[in-house]
Chains A and B, each alone.
Chain A
Amino acid sequence: MLNYIIRRLLLMIPTLFIMSFMLFAIVRFAPGLAHPGAGGTTGKLNSRQAQKEQELEIKRRLHLVDRFGHPISVPMQYWLWVRDIAEGHFGMSYQYDEPVLTLIAQRLPVTITLNLIATVIIYIIAVPGGMLAAVQRGRWFDRGFGFLTLALYSLPSIWVGSMLLGFLANPQFLDWFPAAGIHTTDTSHMTYFQYLGDYCYHIALPLVCYVYGGFAVLSKQVRAAMLDNMRQDYVRTARAKGVGNWTLTVRHIFRNSLLPLITISAGVLPGLLAGSVIVEQIFSIRGMGALAYKATFGHDLPVLQMVGLVGGIIGLLADLITDLCYAVADPRVSYE
């Protein structure tokens, strides 16, 4: 087992290397990399000298040139970039003129929290749903459920989000929910529970967008896992032994179906992370997705690069955790 874990970790190193080099290369060879960014957004004019200085400064920061303005070779650039990241210097954003690390530290918790809450809710509603469908296999409930999950799976979040925002958080129709953000603007006077309540009120609509797709996928998985177990010999044995239907379903089949569910839980997160670009954009939540979106428009490549890297690392970790969970939880799998 230890062997397997070590091997798995070693295999991650080349992946990490390839991924980082890919991100480095895409951004390194992008046109307009050393442009001073949105400094002139207001239409104010920089003097030419200042603009040149700014460009040189950015080039230095990106390690395109050294202290004296001489160009640096590409492999060396990559090495310096990696070293900077290892030291915690994630570069500077063009748009915000702040370190990328600060920006990510600000936004990652928002996104991760939302996604974790969404994941929990998905599990809470998908497990009973999938079980019921499996038990009712072939009957009208199962069919309806199959159709419903497929429909939910196909429902575009841009539509759901726009409609929720347009109809439920709009003075034009029903002004029931807040239109943007995850908090009232002034939270300083709130107690902890008010604060939490305010948070829940604000994330209600975004959560709907996060949850329905995940629910579709997961409940299908639950149903499949249950059916898989129902076909096993031990179920027949148990039935023959006279175990009651309910006991059988809950205590035997369900328990054995839990294994794949737990292991895929880590895999749910990266998918939600990608979806957060759209949901956060619709509901003006200042998370990682919104950061990536704004960076795309602002041509803020250092930010995008780092958002990609952080997202990628989270994805890799999720993969790793899935595999390890599986290895720990399932003694039937051999790892040589």
Chain B
Amino acid sequence: MNSLEPSLPSETMMPRLLSQRPRSYWDNVLASAVRPWAVKISVAYLVALSLLAVLIPFIANSRPYTVVVSAHNSMQAKRLYPLFRSLTRLDLIVLVWAGVVVWCVLHQWLTRKESDLVRRRQRRWRVMILAAFAAIALTTLIGIFRHNVLDVTNYTRLVAEGKAHGAIFAPIKWGYADMEPLRRDLINKMPMPGHPLGTDGQGRDVLARLLWSARVAMSVGFVSQIIALVIGVFCGAVDGYFSGIVDLLFMRFVEAVEAIPTLILILIFVATFGRNIMAIMVILGVTGWTGYARFVRAEFLRLRSLDYVAAARAAGLPLWRVLFRYMLPNGITPVLVSASFGFAGAVTIESGLSFLGVGVRPPTASWGQMLNEAGNPATVFRWWEAIGPGLAIFLTVMAFNVIGQALRDAIDPHGEAL
């Protein structure tokens, strides 16, 4: 902890004095963290997983992108777009937010050459706020005007029976809840052509469910960590700012939350407030913020004892301005290290909760819930349903841990602990 010296944010304090385009401390950290091949693979894996989470309706869906259906009573054929028509509200909202994030990242990338730091920062903020507003507005619009369409036409059969043609199907012809309940030969079957990972107890395609689960895992991790981050950074900052008796009491609170075993605390919340995916996100956020708070608090306490803060105060800047305007942005960058581990933890806990049967609601797919179904003692052990989800959780958590560790090594080359 004592070796965080390089994080002095001196560049941002006096940007105009520098003639060269400066590389921030964070840029340095990133550059050195991404160097190992394991990290590159991890980043690639996570990007792919995120893309999968966003684009999954276009990848695993029983409805074709487009198809020409000949109606039974009239002779004229009609071109339909069932996949696009049946996109749910949630699908669209996820798409919108993902688009916004991509836009922001792209913008950052495009403006990286800008030499005027202050202007760059202003522009970036402007774009981000604009993007957030756009996303919120679009979400509201979708929420009001979009209805979820109920379309259970079996297009595969239509095509097979010759009642439709010209269909373009998604790469995987199954959604997460599609089943043929009346066909016993499709229930509980080992891998076979058409179902490369077999089917589950309700005759649903395991591969499709495996891929759809990525969305649950990523969104739970993402949302819960944002909630935890906001609460943690806010509490930690306020606490580090006030210190003294507030700090003393607040730390007792943090201790109290941390002392109760995480999973049991979460189970108490689940038993009390019921279960659904939103509640799980919030509960994970509400119970997972203490690490961030500790981190930010320590950072604040360290920073406020530094000479230049004293100098800034002597120059007439109020302490809160120094701390919140200049310290906070630099204080939270290292927090992203714990965010990486936190994300891994959230994925683990979500899968654990779903495994215990208190996570997502059926028919939503989740890795943990699939594992639970696979090993349900009341039936036979479906190894084909257990291997995929387990591997997926493992790889995802591993990727986050690799990145987190690389970041930490870059920040603090001597700290070796996990």
Contact = CB atoms under 8 A, between A and B. Distances in A.
A151 B398 contact: yes
B351 interface: yes
B351 A26 contact: no
A308 interface: yes
Interface residues of B, number: 57
Interface string B356-399: 11100000000010011011010011010011011101100110
A23 interface: yes
Contact of A166 (B351, B381, B397): B381
A18 B405 contact: no
7 contacts: A19-B257, A26-B268, A153-B401, A154-B397, A158-B393, A274-B263, A312-B261
Interface in A1-44: 11, 14-16, 18-19, 22-23, 26-27, 30-31
A27 B267 CA distance: 12
Interface stretch (B54-62, B248-256, B309-317): B248-256
Given A18-B256, A315-B261, A156 B417 contact: no
A14 B252 CA distance: 7
A305 B273 CA distance: 14
Contacts of B386: 159, 162-163, 166
A200 interface: no
A308 B371 contact: no
Contacts of B371: 158-159, 162
B401 A150 contact: yes
A295 B269 CA distance: 12
B380 A172 contact: yes
Contact of A159 (B259, B269, B357, B394): B394
Given A15-B256, A19-B256, A307-B264, A296 B355 contact: no
Interface in B396-418: 397-398, 401-402, 405, 414-418
Interface of B: 38, 248-249, 252-253, 255-265, 267-273, 344, 348, 351-352, 355-358, 368, 371-372, 374-375, 377, 380-381, 383, 386-387, 389-391, 393-394, 397-398, 401-402, 405, 414-418
Nearest to A221: B417
Contacts of B402: 150
A289 B355 CA distance: 14
Contacts of A217: 418
Contacts of B252: 11, 14-15, 18
B374 A305 contact: no
A113 B42 CA distance: 38
A39 B344 CA distance: 40
Nearest to B417: A224
Contact of A315 (B258, B263, B393): B258
Contacts of A173: 381
Contacts of A23: 260, 268
Contacts of A179: 377
B415 A162 contact: no
Contacts of B267: 277, 292-293, 295-296, 304
A172 B394 CA distance: 25
A150 B398 contact: yes
Given A26-B272, A273-B264, A293-B267, 10 more contacts: A26-B268, A156-B393, A166-B386, A216-B418, A220-B416, A224-B417, A278-B352, A307-B264, A308-B261, A312-B260
Nearest to A274: B261
B398 to A, nearest CB: 4
A129 interface: no
Contacts of B372: 158
Contacts of A166: 374-375, 381, 383, 386
Nearest to A315: B259
B344 A224 contact: no
Given A165-B375, A173-B381, A292 B416 contact: no
A275 interface: yes
A172 B268 contact: no
Interface string A307-321: 110011101100100
A312 B418 CA distance: 24
A249 interface: no
A297 B417 CA distance: 37
Contacts, number: 179
Which of A15, A156, A307 has the most CB atoms of chain B within a 10 A radius of its CB?
A156
A159 to B, nearest CB: 3
Contacts of A297: 357-358
A51 B397 CA distance: 48
A281 interface: yes
Nearest to A149: B418
B383 to A, nearest CB: 6
A270 interface: yes
Contact of A156 (B265, B270, B394): B394
B272 A30 contact: yes
Contact of A162 (B390, B391, B401): B390
Nearest to B397: A154
Interface string A258-286: 00000000000011011101100110000
Contacts of B394: 151, 154-156, 159
Contacts of A172: 380-381
A66 to B, nearest CB: 25
B156 to A, nearest CB: 32
A315 B260 contact: yes
A223 interface: yes
B358 A162 contact: no
Contacts of A11: 248, 252
A107 interface: no
A179 B248 CA distance: 48
A296 B258 contact: no
A296 B352 contact: no
Contact of B261 (A31, A159, A311): A311
Contact of B253 (A18, A31, A281): A18
Interface string A286-305: 00010011011101110011
Contact of A223 (B38, B263, B380, B416): B416
Ordered nearest first, which 6 A-B pairs have the shortest CB separation? A159-B390, A224-B416, A315-B259, A274-B261, A19-B256, A166-B381
A316 B263 contact: no
Contacts of B273: 30
A307 B263 CA distance: 11
B271 A301 contact: yes
B346 to A, nearest CB: 13
